[in-house]
Structure 1
Amino acid sequence: MDAPYAILERLEPGIARLLARNPSPFTYFGTQTYLVGDEELVVIDPGPDMPEHVEAIVAALDGRSLAAIACTHTHRDHSPASRALKEATGAPIIGCAPLVLESIGPRADASFDKEYAPDLVLADGQAIEFDNGKRLLAVATPGHTSNHLCFAFGDALFTGDHVMGWSTTVVVPPDGEMGAYMKSLDLLRQRGDRIFYPAHGPAVTKPMQLVRGMIGHRLQRERQILRLVGERARDIPDIVANAYPGLDQRLVPAAGGSVLAHLLDLQKRGMVEAGEGETWSKAKAA
């Protein structure tokens, strides 16, 4: 399948997208950059530092002014192009806070953008005002990263990497945190938006159904991990081998990070305990 790279696709009034040519097991066909507005625009997730993608964004503006460059988080498939786009247009970089952390072990997905420098950081509930009264509202959704924001435009929600229709989200410690991620999922469940536009993969047209399913999937994985460590002490590779049979080897590090995130959350709740040799066991009853 040929993905429509560098072609502006209009999704609904006031919302269009461009696809960056950075496909991978973690980005699907690539990062989707959204253009929001009519005469004055906001660009959401300008994407990786690829000149051809920045040129496509500038061409898609077609002479219209750019009010802001908004980033959901600072992984390198989302924010690096913000600098070239700011230089080309003069628009400010507004959105998530800067964040650079090293993961435990090699990163399974994109590393952090160390040069991300926002002109303004948005807190939960703050908005970018543009295009004669339109508002893009920041919705804090920590979990995938601690600085992750979604952006609400009316009843449409741009979900970055927090919710994707094609795959589950990678949650890798030390910055990815399972308890925060679950709370953020529940927040989206309570919001009741009409449609989700993720940074990777197709639009989610039944978002509440998907969010409920994602919450259920994570709770099921939690029960599975508790059962495995309840049988005997296990290290993370042992848990991954039993919990993810037949997993693509390219995704094993991500699965290990997800298992660790679950274990740390369960440990915080007093349900598992760390043992010798990097093993984990079910916590003994008091």
Structure 2
Amino acid sequence: MRLRPLGRSEGAAISAEPPGVVAARVSPLTRRAIAPNSGPFTYTGTCSYVVGAGDVAIIDPGPDDPRHVEALLASVSGERVRYVLVTHTHRDHSPAARTLKEATGATIAGCASYAPADSHPPGGLNLDAAHDRSYAPDIALNDGDALQIGGATLVALATPGHTANHLCFALAEEQSLFTGDHVMAWATTVIAPPDGSMTDYLASLERLRARRDRIYWPGHGEPVQEPQRYLRALIHHRRARETAIVQRLDAGDETIAEIVAQIYESVDKRLHPAAAMTTLAHLTDLIARGLVDCSEAPGLQARFWPRRS
């Protein structure tokens, strides 16, 4: 989800193939196909990945679009699909898993099923509809669980933040990481409470900084070929947004609508509702850290002000 460009990833020279075609090989163990679901929230479309040789896994099968499913099946013709892996349950990532399982007999594995929150932010968006509530994995992977497949070792890495159930998958043999919507080179990630958490998201970014992955393959857009440098830029961007929010509160703004109108002035207004949810996530994190107060339970209609020491 794009809210503010961070600049192209250094060395991101692998071009996006047209959607709806057989997956293109992007590394010795990795092929990529892009679903035909481009838009302001999905960029050129959802990236699905085929990993391994002979016995393969498909990561993030995407929407249940017959064109995309056919492209993926054509990509694995003559091979055995052992697993369909899902990073998170947003509807642009997981629905085709069921169709691929029916077509290939694969095991659906990856993130846990979506667990709806008991409540939603007052005045906020109920984002349950964004989730694939029918997704039910045969195997819900935990942090550190590993799968061996066609000369590849895939390890689940818990990265909550964008969603509570978000996973990344590390490919040990290529020092690569399939990052879903956690890190994307084309965009920053929307964090929408209550399922999304800015506190968890920033902790997950810091967790990736402790790794030494060579390349990231995201759910949308081009690969990130200098991960450590890009992570630093992402964290800096989030802290800059946090500072800008506190500055608007210091200037007298009290509502999320006022803050978004100022700090997202140059962003496409179609994205302002998503920007409002990410602003709410920042404010919720600031409240938890004792830096901001709120007139009520944090929500889009609440009033906020800096906590005075």
TM-score by length of 2: 0.88
Q: Give the counterpart letter for 1:262 in structure 2.
A: H
Q: In terms of mean alpha carbon deviation, does 269-278 or 116-125 score higher?
A: 269-278
Question: Within 5 Å, which residues of 2 pair with 1:1-286?
Answer: 4-7=18-21, 8-101=23-116, 104=121, 105-106=124-125, 111-132=130-151, 134-154=152-172, 155-275=175-295, 278-285=302-309
Quick check: 1:40–1:130 contact (8 Å CA) kept in 2? Answer: yes
Quick check: 2:16–2:222 contact (8 Å CA) kept in 1? Answer: no
- Report Cα offsets for 1:10-50 as digits up to 9, x if no partner: 00101001110001111101001000001110000000011
**How big is the shift at 1:100?**
4.5
Quick check: 2:196–2:281 contact (8 Å CA) kept in 1? Answer: yes
Unaligned 5+ residue runs, structure 2? Answer: 1-14
- Report Cα offsets for 1:177-233 as digits up to 9, x if no partner: 001000100111110210000010001111111100000110111111111112225
Query: In structure 2, how many angstroms separate the alpha carbons of the residues matched to 1:237 and 1:216?
Result: 23
Query: In structure 2, how many angstroms separate the alpha carbons of the residues matched to 1:106 and 1:263?
Result: 16
- Report Cα offsets for 1:82-113 as digits up to 9, x if no partner: 00000000001000000143764336897000
How big is the alpha-carbon RMSD for the aligned residues of Structure 1 and Structure 2?
A: 1.8
Quick check: 1:45–1:69 contact (8 Å CA) kept in 2? Answer: yes
Distance 1:84 1:141, change over 3 A: same
Query: In structure 2, how many angstroms separate the alpha carbons of the residues matched to 1:110 and 1:30?
Result: 19
Query: In structure 2, how many angstroms separate the alpha carbons of the residues matched to 1:230 and 1:108?
Result: 30
Q: Give the counterpart letter for 1:180 in structure 2.
A: D
| Percent of matched pairs sharing the same residue | 48
**How big is the shift at 1:51?**
1.4
Per the alignment, in what secondary structure is the counterpart of residue 150 of structure 1? strand
Q: Give the counterpart letter for 1:270 in structure 2.
A: G
Quick check: 1:172–1:254 contact (8 Å CA) kept in 2? Answer: yes
**How big is the shift at 1:156?**
0.3
Query: In structure 2, how many angstroms separate the alpha carbons of the residues matched to 1:108 and 1:141?
Result: 19
Query: In structure 2, how many angstroms separate the alpha carbons of the residues matched to 1:216 and 1:147?
Result: 24
Query: In structure 1, how many angstroms separate the alpha carbons of the residues matched to 2:105 and 2:207?
Result: 34
Per the alignment, in what secondary structure is the counterpart of residue 241 of structure 1? helix
Query: In structure 1, how many angstroms separate the alpha carbons of the residues matched to 2:248 and 2:128?
Result: 26
**How big is the shift at 1:127?**
1.0
Identify which of structures 1 and 2 has the higher relative contact order when contacts are C-alpha pairs closer than 8 Å and 6+ apart.
2
Distance 1:114 1:234, change over 3 A: same
Q: Give the counterpart letter for 1:5 in structure 2.
A: P
In the alignment of these two chains, the number of paired residues is 284
**How big is the shift at 1:275?**
2.1
Unaligned 5+ residue runs, structure 1? Answer: none
